[in-house]
Amino acid sequence: MSGYRLNSGGLVDRTKRLNFTFDGKSYSGFEGDTLASALLANGVSLFGRSFKYHRPRGVYSAGPEEPNALVTLRSGGRAEPNTKATVIELYEGLEAQSQNCWPSLEHDLLSINQLGGPMLVAGFYYKTFMGPTRKAWMFYEHFIRKAAGLGAAAKEADPDRYEKSNLFCDVLVVGAGPSGLAAALTAARSGARVVLADENPEAGGALLGESQDTIDGQPAQDWVAKTLAELTALPDVTFMPRTTVYGYYDHNILGAVERVADHLATPVNHQPRQKHWTIRCASVVIATGAIERPIVFDGNDTPGVMLADATRRFAQRQGVAVGRQAVVFTNNDSAYRAALDLKDAGVDIAAIVDPRNTIPDALTEAVQTRGIRLLSGHVVTGAKGGKRLKTVEVATFDAGSQSVGESKEWIAADTLAVSGGWTPTIHLASQAGDKPVFDDKIASFVPGKALQAWRAVGACNGDFGLADCLSAGSKAGAGAVEDAGFTSEATPTPDVAVPAHAGSGGSLYPIWEISRPSGPKGKKFVDLQHDVTAEDVRLAQREGFESVEHLKRYTTLGMAADQGKTSNVNGLALMAAALERSIPEVGTTRFRPPYTPVTLGALGGRETGHHLAPVRRTPMHDWHVKAGADMLTAGQWMRPQVYRKAGEDVFAAYVREAKAVREGVGMVDVSTLGKIAVQGPDAQNFLNLVYSNGFKTLAVGKARYGLMLREDGFVYDDGTTWRLGETEYLMTTTTANAAGVLAHLEFLLATVWPELRVQVTSVTEQWAGVAVAGPKSRATLESVIKDLDLSNEGVPFMGVQPGTLDGIPVLVARLSFSGEMAFEVYTGANYGAALWDKLMAAGEAFGLVPYGTEALGTLRIEKGHVAGPELDGRTTAKDLGLGGMASRKKHYIGRPLMEREALNEDNRLGLVGVISSNGKPLRAGSHLVAGQTAEQPGKSLGHVSSTTYSPAIDKFVALAMLEGGLEPNENRELFAADPLRGGHDPVQVVHPCFFDKDGSRMHV
Amino acid sequence: MRIPCPCCGERDLGEFTYGGDATISRPAMDETDLNLWNHFVYNRENPRGPHLEYWQHTGGCRAWFKLQRNVLTHEVGASELVGPWAAASPDDETTGQREIAE
Amino acid sequence: MSNLVYALEDAAQPGVYGAAGTEGPGVTISEHRPESMLQLGAWPDTQASFEALLASTLNLSVPSRPGLASVSSEGSLLVIAPGRYLLVSDKPGITQQLSGQIDADQGVVTDLSHARAGIRMTGRNAADVLRKGFAIDLDIRKFPVHSVAQTTFHHIGLTLHRTDETTFELFIFRGFALSFWEALTDAALEYGYQVAGAGQ
């Protein structure tokens, strides 16, 4: 117990008390608290156990860089693991759980891992458990994952909504700190559409709660409020608090997540919990600030050790003192301000430890005035205390020789505020820019050259002074609007005053790791979240993992939820030291999105449940569903597979349906068939060029089967094309290829024959279609179509005639896919449901049965008609027995390469039929082999493509592609081998048309 | 990625379908030299840098057009309508055409 | 009973849904059932005379480029590509009239009256609802009244016509209409929406 609430100060509303629980224990805080600040105010210092060693960990920062204080927020389906206590806004009823500890945070049995510490070095798991085979790893992995890890994902469905939306603007400003506000103000005054996004609930950034600095004579926080008020009053400015811009993608597209309701227990009134924004803009100002850097020393992970600026921020924003007695360890001027402010707030500052010998007068004076002990030329060599810091070990340091002295002193403290300098938050700039550049002045990387339209300003660009931030921000805002085509007026640079002791992070003495000259080395953490130590980095170097990318992967430095925000630069510095190279020579890894973790909910948005993907329904869809059809998707279309009667399985149903068609009459919804209107004076020419068979002689009122090839000579698609008028054709395609064929035709008209006056339009959705098939199909139609002669003379085979079906305008086409006498009846889609109802009613007298795609397949396989499984992109017209459809009299797409030698060899796979010899069903995908046993199948001679039970011949049959085709193989006994699923069954090779070879049934 | 459709202006990549290399010329319909056909169907350069490509605005106006795109940087340049309307293509600021920077 | 069944007849049940606020529902959504939807196509060398014919028959001036619409008492003419137009009209017999006037040498008429479902959405949050699915800038200065876009929403292609600052007409492939309706109304829940009866 050492943190406490200060009597005054902070932006919290002390009149609004909020109750919450952490690990089931009740606490209270104030509105404006984060979970971290509220727990600190309640004296909690232990927040979690570390990733690998299960060491006790406290709060290390006050922001999104937090490596330690990860908790599982909320419970049940709303539970979210690995959320950072430092950014969770407190709300009434908040529940949070600590992670990676068992049975409890205080008494974590797995902390025994600490004893095995020297063993659990980088690469330990791989070296120890991988073994010569993967088997060992597969066995151990489960236990290792359980022992080492972060929080667990919720297993229940998240009941909340997540939305996605789009945003367009001229200028996006990321970060509403001083630089971002200045940029947004200048940009907005030009009249541009400006979006200002900040991950925090309020604007202000480093100025949030700042009362000492003044801008134009007013306290900085008042300037923030005034600037924000001016911005939000403008109609073209959108301020988006709680919005993290996490990724910068091509062409100035950025991804952002707005946490709409994460600060509430549950979202209200249909609001989403989070909203993902895809932002497209002309220009971006990156004003993302900087993150303070730790220094690496023994015990630097002890709860109570934290970043210096975080201690100040907790006091400034939430009125919380993080401890009662603090040591400040810094290599730069910025942390003095934290020391002085904490002292002024009533926290005892036991000492300021600074490796530098020369410290600016303004700082030493301010320190002396307050009676603080200043240990210049000293470093912290160790921190001790277990679950809470108790003592800090300090030794002398000689900056010239960079050596730590032998003499040491132990200083009692519950808080050690550390500052190793500042690391610009260059994530977005790195994602959309060239390699970051090392800046010696701040001993860190700043953004490289912009490869898209962005400007980095302020601390993100290595400028830490407030005046510099404001003027650079304003300049960037002006540049950004000019990129977007606006003219901008110069904004006067405000007059800035900061206290003399407000030092900048730029004046630093680079020091990365403190090593005792003798005595225990101890555990010195570089990456707190992934428990990577300084020794691990050196081990990686010794084992040859020298490149930064290898270092990252071998040690896992910089991985996990914080992506190394506090550890990257220190890790690089240690690798550079081990290699005796400079940091820029070692380089840095490229940042990839996301900057902070993004929930899967936000990425998925509303595309979940039945909104996952759109489906396409025919006009008769509702009828099929009401009739109890098993609906299957074919591409995006929903189609009835079978209409099962009580007690029937799919097999019984399709056999019954197929039989009904052969014996009486059936009907099937064929609305999904691709339909393309081909119109214009050159339509006939065009069809003749795209189909392999001739279309010159097709008369009005007639249909013709057409075969379409690809440029490489293989078959692309097939279907019938109907001539509806002199210059009007309706082309049908397979359901699957409808979109592709249209694009193919459009491409040819655009690039090959732009002179042809032809227009192609998808009219798939315009027409509802019903195929009525079977010996009684004519009688059925005659009972409802009175204005059309449906006899062989009136509508001959392949004839197409308009008519009226009980008041509905229809097109009747005499086409047969089933081999029976059959008609396809088409009407406008909005008439489709009525057409179906009327046909069902008319068919009643004839025993009409609706049939689904399964029976449709059975009927076509019995007839040996090819479909998708045979038109698989590897077959030629000749392979399919359709060589006669390849005209020799004209030029058409695909002909030259179809005629090449290799596509005309005798041993190519050709279409055959096969009949199961042992009465067992055949499976598509089986190979045809000559070997008698599954053990010795011999080489594949071909494969089975479409299978069914044939009610017409009472056998299991299939279409197959077989080496040499039918002629050399007819009546040959082969085996259908299915080694993957099991099966080796005898088949007999036959003609692919199993039924009514001369086609007499459909010509009646 | 954003792609400038010559008819509709700049739209998201998801609305478009890639249509292949636009530098390849198709042999005449009556060409009998199979080498030329082989080249047309199968042979492609794999340039590192600027590339001229066919794209179709399948999720919009369905126009086919040629697009300059740098396959290394994804930088996108001018787009040009192909087909019978190429000459009549409107050419104002609404088409979102940009010059590609080398 | 009518032989015509529209794509959204069952789905578009009048009522008030979603978030409740003091200002009432943010949008009103209804099925829009125009009498005719025709695609009209000119040839490059007949475009001028074709447009003149459309202008006189429909009593409007044909917009100069794709992405714009022109509206008269005869209907709305949306330019959807160079030389291609979508006519949305409630005028009886317009299909026959135009088919009679336009011969193949002049251009083509393609009847899409059944191929699209129409939806009309109006209200202060109409653009907010649409931008959840549209990756196009709906700012009134960038997409002014009588702008037209063909784009996608929830992977579904459609045509969009802004008829006033807060009103949009949408034409969706009929087969996708129900999926689209479900996605659109779901997107509108956050603002609250009212479903009004279908109309022309």
Residues C104 and C135 in one domain: no
> Is B98 within a domain?
no
CATH homologous superfamily of domain A609-673+764-873? Probable tRNA modification gtpase trme; domain 1 (3.30.1360.120)
Chains in contact with chain A (at least 3 beta-carbon pairs closer than 8 A): B, C
Residues C119 and C156 in one domain: yes
A451 Cβ under 8 Å from any chain B Cβ: yes
**Which CATH number belongs to the domain containing residue B26 in this structure?**
3.30.2270.10
Give the model's pLDDT for residue B92.
Answer: 43
Residue A624 amino acid letter: H
Contacts of B81 in chain C (CB under 8 A): 82
List, in sequence order, every residue forming a beta bridge with A708; answer none if it has no partner.
A691, A717
Give the model's pLDDT for residue B91.
Answer: 46
Residues C120 and C182 in one domain: yes
Among the partner-chain residues B14, B89, B94, the one whose CB lies closest to the CB of C67 is B94
**How many whole angstroms separate alpha carbon A417 and alpha carbon A415?**
6
* Domain range for B16: 2-90
Question: Is the ipTM, as predicted for this complex, more than 0.95?
Answer: yes
In chain A, which stretches have pLDDT less than 70? 1, 102-103, 109-149
Domain C-terminal end among C111, C130, C164: C111
Helix (H) or strand (E) holding A834: helix A832-843
> Is C7 within a domain?
no
CB contact under 8 A, B84 and A451: no
Distance from CA of A680 to the nearest CA of C (A): 5
Among the partner-chain residues B19, B31, B73, the one whose CB lies closest to the CB of A747 is B19
Residue of C nearest to B12 (CA): C135
Q: CA A374 → CA A337, A349, A394, B5, C49, distances in Å? A: 13, 10, 12, 66, 91
Domain C-terminal end among C91, C111, C131: C111
**How many whole angstroms separate alpha carbon A383 and alpha carbon B69?**
57
pTM: 0.94
Work out whether strand A162-174 and strand A274-286 pair parallel, antiparallel, or are unpaired.
parallel
Count how many pairs of residues, chain A against chain C, have C-beta atoms within 8 Å.
Answer: 136
Tokens linked to C73:
């008492």
Residues C127 and C28 in one domain: yes
CATH architecture of the domain covering A674-763+875-896: 2-Layer Sandwich (3.30)
Name the average pLDDT for chain B. 87
Among the partner-chain residues C67, C83, C157, the one whose CB lies closest to the CB of B59 is C157
Contacts of A636 in chain C (CB under 8 A): 175-176
CATH homologous superfamily of domain A905-998? Aminomethyltransferase beta-barrel domains (2.40.30.110)
CB contact under 8 A, A606 and C186: yes
Residue of C nearest to B83 (CA): C44
Give the model's pLDDT for residue B93.
Answer: 41
Residues C190 and C147 in one domain: yes
Is the domain spanning A164-290+424-497 CATH 3.50.50.60? The answer is yes
CB contact under 8 A, B74 and A251: yes
Length of chain B: 102
Domain C-terminal end among C96, C111, C126: C111
Q: Is the pLDDT of residue B94 over 80?
A: no
**How many whole angstroms separate alpha carbon A153 and alpha carbon A601?**
12
- Encode B34-63: b = buried (16+ Cβ within 10 Å), e = exposed: eeebeebbeeeeeeeeebebbbbbbbbbbb
CB contact under 8 A, B85 and C82: yes
Average pLDDT over residues B40-47: 95
Give the model's pLDDT for residue A756.
Answer: 97
| Domain regions of chain A by residue span | 164-290+424-497, 609-673+764-873, 674-763+875-896, 905-998
Give the model's pLDDT for residue A51.
Answer: 84
- A59 and A36 Cβ atoms separated by less than 8 Å: yes
Residues C100 and C42 in one domain: yes
Work out whether strand A422-424 and strand A290-292 pair parallel, antiparallel, or are unpaired.
antiparallel
Residue A105 amino acid letter: L
Residue of B nearest to C150 (CA): B60
Residue of A nearest to B87 (CA): A754
Helix (H) or strand (E) holding B12: strand B9-12
> Is C14 within a domain?
no
Domain tally, chain C:
2
Among the partner-chain residues B14, B59, B88, the one whose CB lies closest to the CB of C44 is B88
Residue A993 amino acid letter: C
Among the partner-chain residues B11, B87, B88, the one whose CB lies closest to the CB of C135 is B11
Among the partner-chain residues C115, C131, C154, the one whose CB lies closest to the CB of A829 is C115
> Is C122 within a domain?
yes
CB contact under 8 A, C47 and B88: yes
CB contact under 8 A, B87 and C44: yes
Phi, psi dihedral angles at A258 (to 5 degrees): -100, 120
The SS3 assignment for A745 reads helix
* Domain range for C120: 23-33+115-199
Contacts of A270 in chain C (CB under 8 A): 18-19, 189-190, 192
Residues C149 and C79 in one domain: no
Using CB atoms within 10 A of its CB, is residue A511 exposed (0-12), middle (13-18) or buried (19+)? buried
List, in sequence order, every residue forming a beta bridge with A245; answer none if it has no partner.
A256
CB contact under 8 A, A251 and B1: yes
**Among the listed residues A824, A833, A821, A846, the one whose alpha carbon sits nearest the alpha carbon of residue A668:** A824
**Within 13 Å, how many C-alpha atoms sit on residue A764's CB side?**
24
Question: Going by C-beta distance under 8 Å and a sequence separation of 6 or more, which residues neighbour residue C189?
Answer: A161, A270, C17, C18, C19
> Is C2 within a domain?
no
Length of chain A: 1004
Give the model's pLDDT for residue B100.
Answer: 38
Total Cβ atoms within 10 A of residue A908: 18
> Is B60 within a domain?
yes
- A673 and A732 Cβ atoms separated by less than 8 Å: yes
Q: CA A403 → CA A295, A521, B86, distances in Å? A: 16, 15, 75
The SS3 assignment for A936 reads coil
**Within 13 Å, how many C-alpha atoms sit on residue A288's CB side?**
29
B17 Cβ under 8 Å from any chain C Cβ: no
C48 Cβ under 8 Å from any chain A Cβ: no
Give the model's pLDDT for residue A120.
Answer: 64
Of A830, A836, A838, which to mutate for an interface test with C (greatest number of C Cβ within 10 Å)?
A: A830
B92 Cβ under 8 Å from any chain C Cβ: yes
Question: Going by C-beta distance under 8 Å and a sequence separation of 6 or more, which residues neighbour residue B30?
Answer: A891
Domain tally, chain B:
1
A689 Cβ under 8 Å from any chain B Cβ: yes
Percent of chain C with pLDDT over 70: 99
Using CB atoms within 10 A of its CB, is residue A234 exposed (0-12), middle (13-18) or buried (19+)? middle
C5 Cβ under 8 Å from any chain A Cβ: yes
Give the model's pLDDT for residue A560.
Answer: 84
Question: Going by C-beta distance under 8 Å and a sequence separation of 6 or more, which residues neighbour residue A825?
Answer: A769, A770, A771, A772, A781, A805, A810, A811, A812, A813, A835, A839
Contacts of A892 in chain B (CB under 8 A): 29
> Is B99 within a domain?
no
Distance from CA of A475 to the nearest CA of B (A): 25
